[in-house]
Chains A and B, each alone.
Chain A
Amino acid sequence: MEKNRIAIIGTVGLPARYGGFETLAEHLVSELSDQYRFTVYCSGKKYKKEDRLKTFRGAQLKYIPLEANGIQSIPYDTISILHALMKNDVLLILGVAGSWILPFIRLFTRKKIIISIDGIEWKRDKWPLAAKLFLWWSEKIAVKFSHIDISDNESIQDYTALRYKTLSRVIEYGADHTLTVEPVADDFQKYPFLKEPYCVKVCRIEPENNVHLVLEAFSQIREKTLVMVGNWNNSEYGRKLKNEYATVKNIVLLDPIYNQREIDLIRGNAELYIHGHSAGGTNPSLVEAMYLGLPVLAFKVSYNITTTEAKAHYFSSVNELVDLLNSTGQQNLNKIANEMKAIATRRYTWRFIAGQYQLLIREALCTKNKSNVRSEINKLRPSLLSEFQLFHFQNANLFYEK
């Protein structure tokens, strides 16, 4: 049987070097290339001509000479989409920058569109007002004109149900690409903190990730060591914090590490993972920490609670974090670690995630309209319902009304 052709649009490109979407694309291609013919669109700016591959694990790679992020993402996504229409049946779009063109695609072609809306971008304070308005409007167009939209967290599914009255699908990220690393002599030399127990946090250095909160908490507890890996020099916020906490003895600040073994060495051998993210749905860093079998202390926000199934401990202020650090005993930590590992093994493996995407692609290929949040019965006339004594169906409690 002829294999269906799927285009993956909106990532920086393969091989994956940049972030969650790219890792997702890489694993989709690895797991599903035997069933589908993938074409992945990559940013020519990030892959120099000499390094560019033509194919990668069975997927065709096409290069567009624009940046994939920032304001260039709008033409980047748009051109990728238009090019993909020619030879692909299903467009899997990651991110809403190009969604303004979707109404035209629905109007003029019969191609299927699956779009992943990537957290709730328009709420982020880092964007100026004009960008927020564009993203807000783009999200609306994306949900209204795609065949299927994907949220990466159940809390975001609640939000789209509330706002658009349609059902989003929830597919998170996989974490089993992480490695279990036993430190060797060289590692101990490079990172002396490995010899003792320490806590770890790996994230982008942004106010939303509560970097300042965690640093403040650890500066109050001198007995515990904190190792934080992130892009400190990328922002004023980061540079200021790095200066302020450079002299504190129990805090080790490291610059970004891209080597998978090295970052998993540092993460995997910690005794505790601190997750301060307050936005963005399911964070890949959190699911990876869970898969590595680390106990987790997470910022108290609906996304983190959903990701960890409410089985971790949560903090919303410096004081609460300090309390948790002081009062959580080793037995408790072990229990949490086991829970986290169990959840991750069950939900956050790439085979499972790719399987879900495969089901979604099959559904997209035969669906016509997006499913409404309410059941079909609600579309009947109220008078008809009362005639059959079914009027109570009008008052169903919806899943997001907690």
Chain B
Amino acid sequence: MDTIMYVIGIGAVAFMINQLLIPVLSRIAFKFNLVDKPNYRKIHLLPIPLIGGISIAISTILTILISDRFEIVEDYLMISTTSVILLIMGCIDDQKDIKASYKLALELLLAISIAASGTRIESLYGLLGVYHLGIAMQYFLTIIVITGVVNAINLFDGVDGLAGTYSLLGFILLGIIGLYIQNQNLLLIGTIFAGSLLSFLRKNFSPKKIFMGDSGALFLGFMLITLGIKLLQNKPPLFKEHASYGFIIMAAYFSIPVLDSIRVYLGRIKNGYSPFMPDRSHLHHLLLKIGMNHKSITFLIVSFCISMLLVNIGFSGIFPITIVLVAMVVIFAAMVKVLLLIHGLKEWGEILKKLEQSSF
């Protein structure tokens, strides 16, 4: 087992490589039109390089090569290759805007190949009384979950640092679990990605911004969910006494983007629109309308995620899994309700101001 110093060192290496990589890639980005141009819907005003995902991927690969730990990739071969394919597709999309149906088709294809390679959701650990799943159900569920989560995380990329910090949280979580179950490779993957992400976030928050774009969000989202699913299949099982712990932790972590996306889709359908119609009703949009700035929004949402994790871990020892997950959805719904109330308050305050000023 590697020492702590070694692990931190590897993370630092990833950090530094990415720091050096980003300025180089930024300049190249403009030449290849890999930039995000502002429009009526977006929040920023200057074109910004969309190289976050690529730089994280490259710095990760370079770190692995430098540290001569190629077995990490071998262990997670399928996951790595499919993620990289997704990254490349994301790049092309950032450059030339591929049709949504093609993107979806590729995501499904990659999800199927992951499932076929053996990484599947095999059990519901007692949710709604269901335990082990049949093979067809495993495939179906795995594909839906991967595609859904990846897209939810993509939609999460709306304010500075949100998707980045969220992914950072995820990789740190994976690293900690890797340490706990003495899986060297997982620990190292977590640390390397964490290092690269820290470097990305530094730039993301600074005035000389870069974005991760669709490529980065899809790449990171895909890595996180597939690593998570593979983790659940770990032999020996993760938490012997409470087999559902692992499932609950995964569910709690991915809950916020997923529940938010479901809420937005349902809302759009209820109002008669297509669920994919672009509008600004996601969680971070609501918080922006209230007047919070980007950093506060990121902080708030990630804190919310951490508290969901803690609450769920706390509950899962005492209550059965179904209740824990239902409680999670209820808590999320309550928070969103409060947010919408505040939003309504502000909106009517504006309307009132106009009414007060109009004389006759």
Asked if B358 contacts A302 (CB within 8 A), the reply is yes
Asked if A402 contacts B360 (CB within 8 A), the reply is yes
Asked if A300 contacts B342 (CB within 8 A), the reply is no
Docked Cα-Cα span, A75 to B352, in Å, equals 29
**A305-B360, A310-B360, A402-B360 known; A155-B355 Cβ under 8 A:** yes
Asked if B345 contacts A136 (CB within 8 A), the reply is yes
Kindly identify, within residues 331 to 354 of chain B, every residue whose CB is under 8 Å from any CB belonging to chain A: 338, 341-342, 344-345, 348-349, 351-352
Asked if B342 contacts A305 (CB within 8 A), the reply is no
List B contacts of A162 (CB < 8 A). 351, 355
Docked Cα-Cα span, A133 to B348, in Å, equals 12
Whether a CB of chain A sits under 8 angstroms from the CB of B2 is no
Select one of B342, B351, B356, B360 contacting A129, CB under 8 A: B342
Category for how many chain B residues contact A:
10 to 19
**Residue in chain B with minimal CB distance to A122:** B345
Kindly identify, within residues 249 to 294 of chain B, every residue whose CB is under 8 Å from any CB belonging to chain A: none
Select one of A133, A158, A163, A301 contacting B341, CB under 8 A: A133
Docked Cα-Cα span, A164 to B314, in Å, equals 43
Asked if A300 contacts B359 (CB within 8 A), the reply is yes
Docked Cα-Cα span, A302 to B359, in Å, equals 6
Asked if A303 contacts B356 (CB within 8 A), the reply is yes
Scan A133-166; emit 1 where CB is below 8 A from any B CB, else 0. 1001100000000000000000100110011000
Select one of A120, A159, A301, A402 contacting B357, CB under 8 A: A301
List B contacts of A120 (CB < 8 A). 352
Whether a CB of chain B sits under 8 angstroms from the CB of A240 is no
Docked Cα-Cα span, A163 to B355, in Å, equals 12
List A contacts of B352 (CB < 8 A). 120, 123, 159
Asked if B356 contacts A155 (CB within 8 A), the reply is yes
Whether a CB of chain B sits under 8 angstroms from the CB of A132 is yes
Within the complex, what minimum Cβ distance (angstroms) separates A280 from chain B?
11
Docked Cα-Cα span, A162 to B360, in Å, equals 18
Give the residue among B338, B344, B351, B356 with the most A Cβ atoms within 10 A.
B356
Asked if A310 contacts B342 (CB within 8 A), the reply is no
Asked if A133 contacts B355 (CB within 8 A), the reply is no
List A contacts of B357 (CB < 8 A). 300-302
Q: Do most interface residues of chain A lie in helix, strand or loop, or is the interface mixed?
A: helix
**Residue in chain B with minimal CB distance to A135:** B345
**A301-B357, A302-B356, A302-B358 known; A133-B345 Cβ under 8 A:** yes
Category for how many chain A residues contact B:
20 to 34
Within the complex, what minimum Cβ distance (angstroms) separates B147 from chain A?
38
List B contacts of A301 (CB < 8 A). 356-357
List B contacts of A158 (CB < 8 A). 355
List A contacts of B355 (CB < 8 A). 155, 158-159, 162, 302
Docked Cα-Cα span, A137 to B351, in Å, equals 17
Within the complex, what minimum Cβ distance (angstroms) separates B92 from chain A?
45
Within the complex, what minimum Cβ distance (angstroms) separates B229 from chain A?
40
Docked Cα-Cα span, A278 to B356, in Å, equals 9
Kindly identify, within residues 185 to 228 of chain A, every residue whose CB is under 8 Å from any CB belonging to chain B: none
Within the complex, what minimum Cβ distance (angstroms) separates B357 from chain A?
7
Scan A376-387; emit 1 where CB is below 8 A from any B CB, else 0. 000000000000
Select one of B342, B356, B359 contacting A133, CB under 8 A: B342
**Residue in chain A with minimal CB distance to B352:** A123
Within the complex, what minimum Cβ distance (angstroms) separates A345 from chain B?
23
Docked Cα-Cα span, A136 to B351, in Å, equals 14
Asked if A402 contacts B358 (CB within 8 A), the reply is yes
List B contacts of A278 (CB < 8 A). 356
List A contacts of B341 (CB < 8 A). 133, 136-137
Within the complex, what minimum Cβ distance (angstroms) separates A353 from chain B?
24
**Residue in chain B with minimal CB distance to A314:** B359
Docked Cα-Cα span, A322 to B184, in Å, equals 78
**Residue in chain B with minimal CB distance to A139:** B348
List B contacts of A136 (CB < 8 A). 341, 344-345, 348
Kindly identify, within residues 347 to 371 of chain A, every residue whose CB is under 8 Å from any CB belonging to chain B: none
Docked Cα-Cα span, A129 to B342, in Å, equals 8
Kindly identify, within residues 292 to 320 of chain A, every residue whose CB is under 8 Å from any CB belonging to chain B: 300-303, 305, 310, 314
**Residue in chain A with minimal CB distance to B341:** A133
Docked Cα-Cα span, A103 to B351, in Å, equals 27
Within the complex, what minimum Cβ distance (angstroms) separates B348 from chain A?
7
List A contacts of B348 (CB < 8 A). 136, 163
List A contacts of B359 (CB < 8 A). 300, 302, 305, 310, 314
Docked Cα-Cα span, A122 to B345, in Å, equals 8
Within the complex, what minimum Cβ distance (angstroms) separates A312 from chain B?
12
Docked Cα-Cα span, A351 to B344, in Å, equals 40
Docked Cα-Cα span, A278 to B345, in Å, equals 19
List A contacts of B360 (CB < 8 A). 305, 310, 402
**Residue in chain B with minimal CB distance to A400:** B355
Scan A44-57; emit 1 where CB is below 8 A from any B CB, else 0. 00000000000000
**Residue in chain A with minimal CB distance to B351:** A162
Within the complex, what minimum Cβ distance (angstroms) separates A207 from chain B?
15
Docked Cα-Cα span, A85 to B231, in Å, equals 62
Within the complex, what minimum Cβ distance (angstroms) separates A169 from chain B?
19
List B contacts of A305 (CB < 8 A). 359-360
Q: Mark A residues whose CB is within 8 Å of B.
A: 120, 122-123, 129, 132-133, 136-137, 155, 158-159, 162-163, 278, 300-303, 305, 310, 314, 402
- Other contacts beyond A120-B352, A310-B359, A310-B360: 16, CB < 8 A: A123-B349, A129-B342, A132-B345, A133-B342, A133-B345, A136-B345, A158-B355, A159-B352, A278-B356, A300-B357, A301-B356, A302-B355, A302-B358, A303-B356, A305-B359, A314-B359
8 closest Cβ contacts across the A-B interface? A305-B359, A302-B356, A301-B356, A136-B345, A123-B349, A402-B360, A133-B341, A123-B352
29 contacts between A and B (CB under 8 A): A122-B345, A123-B349, A129-B342, A132-B345, A133-B338, A133-B345, A136-B341, A136-B345, A137-B341, A155-B356, A158-B355, A159-B352, A162-B351, A163-B348, A278-B356, A300-B357, A300-B359, A301-B356, A302-B355, A302-B356, A302-B358, A302-B359, A303-B356, A305-B359, A305-B360, A310-B359, A314-B359, A402-B358, A402-B360
Q: Mark B residues whose CB is within 8 Å of A.
A: 338, 341-342, 344-345, 348-349, 351-352, 355-360
